[in-house]
């Protein structure tokens, strides 16, 4: 397993969230000449930090409209996850399925004892059981490497930032009419910069965690080529059935095993996933031979 300094990264994310709320409070305090807003936004920040920590798994699951499944409903998922969890001497996570046909999977939660793994209907249809085992091994290693708290909190932080930015854009514009104390210029800047900050926070998690989860998952399953084959199918499947780029899904996209959106240009600069061809090549080198 790999050490990604996730404890330090999580503290950084919480500090960033608090800092952003304090900045928002300071802007309103300056516009209204009332320091009370700094304390109000500080309290909101504390509440958001607590909520993000305890509900990080629920936020990601909800964004994908996923539902828990029983062993009768998803026997292959249960069989694979039970086998790999036992092999790793770790607790078995809760299992969910998202109804979307966009092929993908992700893990979420604050620790291995409170974790969840979700597959979409799309990925369950396009992968065979060997490939699904490779994907689930990858997701379980995100759990065991303690990536999931950092990633889930990043999703929650990004959601809070963009929500507050949208609130500022609306209230700032409305308040600016008739010189009634609003600051539309500040609202426009926040509407632009806050989502940008959310992207930077997601990017700060680092692409290395995907390479490491690929490597560790392949060692857990003893089958690097199974994951390589799955990644190739996922890349083609996402191009055929990408997720809609709603803000809620954008905020959780870094949790998924494959980038769920089509896109290029500036989006590649802030992509949370490394190139799929590089990931496949690394897995082929692990196996000592190419996939085909």
Active site residues: 139
Residue 173 and residue 162 in contact, taking contact as beta carbons nearer than 8 Å: no
Which whole-number Å values give the CA distances from 106 to 67, 152, 160, in the listed order? 14, 10, 21
Element (H, E) at 98: strand 94-98
Which whole-number Å values give the CA distances from 6 to 62, 122, 216, 262, in the listed order? 24, 30, 17, 29
Count of beta carbons in the 10 Å neighbourhood of residue 213: 28
**Alpha helices, H only, 89-146:** 121-126, 129-144
Residue 81 and residue 136 in contact, taking contact as beta carbons nearer than 8 Å: yes
Using N-to-C axis directions, what is the helix angle for 75-88 and 208-221, rounded to 10°?
90
Positive or negative, the CA dihedral 270, 233, 213, 211 is negative
CA distance 246 to 240: 18
């Amino acid at each position: 397993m790999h050490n990604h300094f996730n404890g330090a990264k999580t503290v950084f994310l919480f500090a960033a969230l608090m800092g952003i709320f304090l900045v928002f409070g300071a802007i309103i305090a300056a516009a209204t000449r009332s320091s009370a807003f700094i304390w109000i936004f500080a309290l909101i920040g504390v509440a958001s930090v607590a909520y993000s920590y305890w509900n990080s798994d629920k936020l990601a699951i909800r964004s994908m409209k996923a539902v828990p499944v029983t062993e009768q409903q998803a026997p292959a998922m249960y069989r694979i996850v039970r086998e790999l969890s036992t092999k790793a001497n770790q607790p078995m996570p809760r299992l969910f399925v998202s109804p979307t046909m966009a092929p993908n999977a992700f893990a979420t939660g604050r620790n291995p004892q409170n974790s969840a793994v979700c597959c979409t209907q799309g990925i369950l249809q396009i992968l065979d059981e060997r490939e699904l085992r490779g994907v689930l091994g990858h997701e379980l290693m995100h759990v065991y490497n303690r990536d999931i708290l950092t990633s889930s909190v990043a999703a929650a932080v990004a959601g809070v930032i963009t929500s507050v930015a949208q609130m500022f854009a609306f209230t700032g514009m409305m308040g600016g009419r008739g010189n009634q104390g609003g600051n539309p210029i500040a609202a426009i800047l926040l509407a632009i910069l806050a989502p940008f900050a959310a992207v930077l926070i997601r990017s700060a998690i680092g692409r290395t965690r995907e390479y490491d989860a690929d490597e560790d998952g392949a060692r857990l399953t003893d089958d690097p080529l199974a994951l390589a084959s799955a990644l190739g199918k996922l890349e083609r499947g996402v191009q055929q059935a990408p997720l809609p780029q709603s803000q809620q899904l954008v905020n959780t996209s870094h949790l998924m095993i494959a980038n769920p959106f089509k896109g290029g240009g500036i989006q590649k600069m802030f992509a949370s996933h490394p190139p799929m061809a590089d990931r496949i090549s690394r897995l082929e080198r692990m196996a000592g031979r190419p996939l085909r």
